[in-house]
Structure formats: structure tokens, C-alpha cells
Amino acid sequence: MAAGFWMLLQTLWVGGIWILHFMVLPGLQSVGLASLLIEEIAGVLMPQMVVITLVCALIQAGLLASLRGLSTLWGERCGQLLLTVLVIALTLLASLALWPDALRWQLFSYLLLAFFGLLLVLHPAPRKHSPADPEVG
């Protein structure tokens, strides 16, 4: 049950980031929409996608902590990736609010979210350790 919920959350935010940046926006450009209109659409959808990422990553961090303990958030690679995603998402939202002209920084942060999301997808969904399981690190 927890693994299915984990994968659903991961699909929502990682897939959403990749689809928005690499399919929707280029698709709108290939249709021939004005670049100013595409920038306006990206300016509305990107912050919403980052908020979705933040919420999903927070839920995933809570799920990981409940399954394996709070120390896994900084002790295992999966937890470290989630914490990194949370920090990047928070700084990206802060830069959107406080420094709206930093477009290159915002694009870089958004692509970092996509990259770390992809790295997180490569890890198996967490499950509760049984006493017979070896330590995972």
C-alpha cells in the first residue's frame, strides 16, 4: 500500500515537471503560439508545479520517516534526495516571490528538480524493514 502511494506521488511530481518542461511548453511553441504567450503560460504553470512538487515531496518524506524512521531522511540516499528536492523547491518558490527577474536561476532550479526527481525514480519504493533484511545504505 505504501509503495503504491509512494509511486503515485512520485509520478505526479516528477512526471509533471518533465512533461511540463519537455513536452507541453515545446509543444505550444511548435504550434506557433507567440513566445510572450508561452512565457506567460510557463509563468503560471511552473510555480504551480513547484508547489505540487513541494507537497508531494513532503508527503513522501513523511512516508519514508514513518516506514523506516526519521534518521533515514539524512542517513539514506533516498531521504537525502528528498531533502534536496524540498530545499530546491523552497528556494525556487522564494526566488519566484522575492526575485522574479532571476529567470536563469529559476530555470536552473527547475531543471535540478527534474534531475533529482529522476534520480529518486531510480530508487525502489521504500518499505518497512523486517529484522531479516540487511541494512540498506
Domain ranges (residues) in the chain: 2-121
Across the range 4-15, mean pLDDT stands at: 94
> Residue 68 — very low, low, confident or very high, per pLDDT cuts 50/70/90?
confident
- Considering 5-9, 66-70, 75-79, the range whose residues carry the highest mean pLDDT is 5-9
Q: DSSP H helical segments within the chain, as ranges?
A: 2-10, 16-19, 25-31, 35-68, 72-75, 77-98, 103-121
Contact 110, 92 (CB under 8 A): yes
Per-residue model confidence (pLDDT) at position 75 = 85
State the Cα angle at 80 between 75 and 84, rounded to 5°. Answer: 155
What integer pLDDT is reported at residue 137 of this predicted model?
46
Task: Say yes or no to pLDDT of 72 above 90.
Answer: no
* pLDDT in the model for residue 16: 96
